[in-house]
């Protein structure tokens, strides 16, 4: 008899993942299942797979696998969803939760609604680092971009109209630019008249997604560095918006946004 795995599909601003409680190590070879289950027509359909595990250093741990099976170091939207998952399912009664990731331990502040379930989460995304302007060279549609690491690498490009771009054509070339041998996430952004930042994303290993939490943070930092905004911004993505604040007191970036459960289900581990 094939083994069945319980899962929950969740999204943060449309960035959807399949979440599995792996605190008892129920799922091995997650790279394979991330590919199989992420397929829209023959699987569950998602941007990837997230495993929630135990940790010797934090309340919980997170491993995240993109739709192509590659492992990501960090995901802000997934972190928010984990906060909702562990609280709503009774795995913790804390409203401040620590989460071990490949890019360090993150702190989640859970905002509990009147229904006693989490509706928003603020993630301490730590300090941005390795910030520099990069020259993309000849043969590319953009001359320069802002590099920002938020635990994973981002290239932020400010453009007149992100919605007019053929990101499916441009994104792969930039993801695999020779300057970034390990690949890179790419954000196409524009500051609107009302001060919000419109942003679209090409995610390393997943392609076009509805949102990217670390990408939103990188974009807000890049906009502040370019003096296009202050240190607090609303970033509007295809799937929704998040509020990002780059605080002066500790130089940390704090991201606040929603976390939504789509449905629970079970799936067989077919060979």
75 is catalytic: yes
The residue annotated as part of the active site, out of 75, 81, 129, 217, is: 75
Given a contact cutoff of 8 angstroms between Cβ atoms, the answer to whether 219 and 248 are in contact is: no
The residue annotated as part of the active site, out of 81, 129, 212, 217, is: 212
Q: Residues 6 or more apart from 130 whose CB is under 8 A from it?
A: 147, 148, 149, 153
Given a contact cutoff of 8 angstroms between Cβ atoms, the answer to whether 103 and 152 are in contact is: yes
Q: How far is CA 164 from CA 138, 144, 160, 170, 252, in A?
A: 22, 19, 9, 12, 33
Q: Which residues are catalytic, by number?
A: 75, 212
């Amino acid at each position: 008899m094939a083994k069945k795995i319980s899962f929950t599909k969740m999204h943060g601003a449309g960035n959807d993942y399949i979440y599995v409680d792996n605190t008892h190590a129920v799922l091995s070879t997650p790279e394979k299942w991330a590919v199989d289950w992420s397929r829209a027509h023959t699987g569950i359909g998602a941007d990837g797979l997230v495993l929630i595990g135990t940790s010797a250093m934090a309340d919980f741990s997170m491993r995240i696998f993109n739709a192509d099976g590659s492992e990501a170091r960090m995901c802000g939207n997934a972190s928010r969803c984990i906060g909702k998952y562990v609280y709503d399912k009774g795995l913790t009664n804390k409203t401040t939760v620590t989460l071990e990731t490949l890019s360090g331990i993150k702190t989640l502040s859970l905002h509990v609604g009147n229904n006693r379930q989490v509706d928003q989460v603020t993630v301490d995304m730590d300090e941005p680092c390795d910030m520099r302007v990069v020259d993309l060279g000849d043969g590319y549609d953009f001359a320069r971009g802002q590099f920002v690491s938020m635990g994973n690498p981002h290239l932020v490009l400010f453009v007149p109209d992100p919605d007019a771009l053929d990101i499916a054509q441009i994104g792969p070339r930039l993801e695999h630019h020779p300057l970034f041998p390990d690949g890179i996430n790419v954000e196409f952004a524009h500051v609107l008249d009302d001060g919000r930042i419109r942003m679209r994303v090409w995610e390393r290993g997943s392609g076009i997604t509805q949102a990217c939490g670390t990408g939103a943070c990188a974009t807000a930092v890049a906009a502040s560095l370019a003096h296009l905004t202050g240190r607090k911004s609303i970033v509007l993505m295809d799937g929704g918006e998040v509020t990002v604040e780059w605080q002066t007191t500790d130089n940390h970036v704090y991201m606040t946004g929603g976390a939504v459960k789509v449905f629970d289900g079970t799936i067989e581990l077919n060979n």
